[in-house]
Chain A
Amino acid sequence: AQSVSQHNHHVILSEAASLELGCNYSYGGTVNLFWYVQYPGQHLQLLLKYFSGDPLVKGIKGFEAEFIKSKFSFNLRKPSVQWSDTAEYFCAVSLLSGGYNKLIFGAGTRLAVHP
Chain B
Amino acid sequence: DTAVSQTPKYLVTQMGNDKSIKCEQNLGHDTMYWYKQDSKKFLKIMFSYNNKELIINETVPNRFSPKSPDKAHLNLHINSLELGDSAVYFCASSQPDRLYNEQFFGPGTRLTVL
Contacts and interface: CB of A to CB of B under 8 A. Distances in A.
Interface in A61-115: 88, 90, 94, 96-105, 107-108, 110
Contacts of B63: none
Contact of A44 (B44, B94, B99, B105): B105
Interface residues of A, number: 28
A5 interface: no
Secondary structure type dominating chain A contacts: strand
B106 interface: yes
Contact of B102 (A43, A46, A107): A46
B102 A34 contact: yes
Contacts of A110: 41
A38 to B, nearest CB: 8
B31 A100 contact: yes
Secondary structure type dominating chain B contacts: strand
Contacts of A43: 90, 105-108
B42 A101 contact: no
B45 interface: yes
B102 A98 contact: no
Given A42-B107, A94-B101, A100 B41 contact: no
A107 B92 CA distance: 18
Interface of A: 32, 34, 36, 38, 42-46, 49, 51-52, 88, 90, 94, 96-105, 107-108, 110
6 contacts: A43-B107, A96-B98, A100-B55, A101-B98, A107-B41, A107-B42
